[in-house]
Structure 1
Amino acid sequence: MSVSNESITPLISPGSDALMEKLKPLIDGGRLDNLVDLLSLISDLVDLLDPAMVEKLARLFEGATEATWSVSNAVRMAKADSTANEQPPGFYQLLKLLREPDTRRGVGFALKTLNVIGRQL
């Protein structure tokens, strides 16, 4: 008994034919493998993101947002203060500024931050 190729070939719809035509350049160039790898990575990330990890990431995001807001607010206030003064501060005015507790606290914070960064290098 002989079987023809036409009876073995499955019926292909016009939609799947069009899809295969669009996927052909991706398959030929090996780029379809990249898409499959990307989908695999996304699937792994979904598996890793349990509620505890999501909570950690949320706290990290909140901390980064708070730090960014604090720095941008300080820069805005300093810019407004410096544009209000027509003359730049003189040497003695800068020394007077160093006597203020807030200035010393900020300088201390900056120096401590640089100290920690230097230790990690």
Structure 2
Amino acid sequence: MLLAIDLQSETPIYTQISEAVIEGIAKGQLQKGEALPSVRTLAVDLGVNLHTVNKAYQLLKQGGYVQINRKQGVIIEPNAFPIADEAFKQRLWDRLKPAVAEGVCRGVKREEMMILLDEIYRDLNKM
């Protein structure tokens, strides 16, 4: 699994790892039932602390994206991902709102914002 992290980013490394796995799932690069590298392997590959990778995997587990099994390791959820319920939609709103607000402050028009969102959606949903 190829993962790019930015050690200079303000975004915590565990968040970058978690978001990269979710993006890989969305793009179809990671399939349901597929095993992710062990915590130790990924930590060594990325040159980060074991606890950082473990925290990323725990976030993915809490979000319903992976199962953690002592024998099989970390597996992309083999059954169904959680539905986009109202709680999820509220979290999505909370995460998008600051980005949209920054765009508004910088003069990005509504139409441009919608085009960007559509391009991101199409990029991730090429299945």
Range of TM-score over shorter length: under 0.3
Which has a greater percent of strand?
A: 2
Which has a greater percent of helix?
A: 1
- TM-score after normalising by structure 1: 0.27
Q: Which has the larger radius of gyration?
A: 1
- TM-score after normalising by structure 2: 0.26
Q: Tell me: higher relative CO, structure 1 or 2? Use CA pairs within 8 A at least 6 residues apart.
A: 2
